[in-house]
Amino acid sequence: MGKLYDSDFCGWTIQRADALKRKSLNDLDWENLTEEIETLGRSETRELGGCYRLLLLHLRRWQFQPMQRSRSWKAARAVQRKDASQALADNPSLKRKADEIFAATYELARVDAAQEPGVKFDTFPPTAPYTCALPLDQTFFPGPVE
């Protein structure tokens, strides 16, 4: 079973799904099946983090580059807000980890935003200035830099 897993992953998944449908415990590749299920959970977590990261980047752009605001930035924020909200709706267990994922992602978004022309890394506070729920609000736009 492990050999097929390494040489034809798609074929392996088809056979394991068939074994699950037949409830054939002997035909399951327990080690690799366990690993794949764990990977699926991590993938959902990364998806939410990716949505937060892009959303935070666009919110930072909005706040720190007001002269460059565009409809595409606004549209990108709307898409990331919807995608993050959908990820949380599809995976309610992620809600318990949302603050942690948001905080971890904030640092990445901070680095991304600092790559923008004329923006320094130190411009951004070391921790997010709002909770993970606020950026998901379609009406939220950070105020100007004071």
Please write the tens of the pLDDT for every residue from 59-79. Answer: 888 888 888 888 888 888 899
- Which of 85 and 61 is assigned the larger pLDDT? 85
- How far CA 48 is from CA of 14, 34, 37, 77, in Å, comes to 28, 22, 17, 14
Please write the tens of the pLDDT for every residue from 14-27. Answer: 999 999 999 999 88
Could you tell me what percent of the chain has a pLDDT over 90?
A: 46
Quickly state the pLDDT bin for 5 (edges 50, 70, 90): confident
The pLDDT score that the predictor gives to residue 145 is 63
Could you tell me what percent of the chain has a pLDDT over 70?
A: 97
Residue whose entry in the numeric block shows the structure tokens 């950026």: 135
The continuous run of DSSP H or E covering 89 comes out as helix 71-90
Quickly state the pLDDT bin for 118 (edges 50, 70, 90): confident
- 119: region left, alpha or beta (phi > 0 left; psi from -120 to 50 alpha): beta
> Mean pLDDT over residues 126-132, rounded?
87
Q: How many CA atoms lie within 13 A of 100 on its CB side?
A: 7
> Mean pLDDT over residues 83-103, rounded?
93
Task: Report domain extents, the chain.
Answer: 2-136
pLDDT at 4 over 70: yes
What type of residue is 112? D
- What is the pTM (predicted TM-score) of this model? 0.78
Judge whether 28 and 83 are in contact, CB under 8 Å: no
